């Protein structure tokens, strides 16, 4: 083969590799539905305990499930709910550890009958932007 042909082949291969890398990068950063199992059952259990110890005096757990929950959060990034939860308790906002707030969100997802998965919901505000709320499809 000539140098020109080899150069064209190399350019083509490099282009395919770049497009593939961009596609993988975009899919890795694509928002993930909470219906895809974004928390673990163990995390939800911890969240239930944290909620009971820190939130139950002012909030009933059923407030975070069902049609009312979906009316407030459907179509929004989970970061919206994260921000709301992190503003609690009202007398000491942000006093829990970030992972404890994530555990509480996992508890809400669990009681809302969203499926659990293999990985825990991270206690990270930026990561919460990578998840969105939508109803479980039946």
pLDDT, tens digit (0-9, with 9 covering 90-100), for 49-64: 999 999 988 898 888 8
Helix-helix angle 98-111:78-86, to 10 degrees: 120
Average pLDDT over residues 34-47: 97
pTM confidence score: 0.77
Of 10, 15, 17, 16, nearest to 1 by C-alpha is: 10
Report the percent of the chain where pLDDT is more than 90.
64
In the chain, the DSSP E strands lie at 32-33, 131-132
Asked if the model's pLDDT at residue 73 lies above 80, the reply is: yes
Give the span between the Cα atoms of 84 and 79, in whole angstroms. Answer: 9
Going by pLDDT thresholds of 50, 70 and 90, the confidence category of residue 137 is confident
| Dihedral sign (CA 74, 77, 83, 88) | positive
Average pLDDT over residues 12-19: 44
Asked if the model's pLDDT at residue 48 lies above 60, the reply is: yes
Going by pLDDT thresholds of 50, 70 and 90, the confidence category of residue 122 is very high
Asked if the model's pLDDT at residue 110 lies above 90, the reply is: yes
Report the percent of the chain where pLDDT is more than 70.
79
Asked if the model's pLDDT at residue 15 lies above 60, the reply is: no
């Amino acid at each position: 083969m000539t140098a020109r042909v080899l150069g064209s082949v190399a350019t083509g291969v490099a282009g395919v590799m770049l497009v593939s890398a961009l596609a993988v990068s975009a899919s890795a950063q694509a928002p993930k539905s909470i219906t895809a199992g974004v928390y673990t059952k163990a995390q939800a259990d911890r969240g239930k305990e944290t909620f009971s110890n820190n939130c139950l005096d002012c909030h009933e757990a059923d407030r975070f499930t069902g049609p009312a929950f979906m009316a407030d959060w459907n179509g929004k990034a989970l970061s919206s709910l994260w921000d709301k939860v992190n503003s609690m308790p009202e007398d000491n906002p942000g006093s829990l550890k970030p992972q404890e707030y994530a555990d509480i969100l996992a508890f809400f997802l669990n009681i809302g009958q969203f499926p659990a998965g293999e990985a825990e919901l991270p206690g990270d505000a930026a990561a919460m932007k990578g998840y969105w709320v939508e109803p479980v499809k039946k």
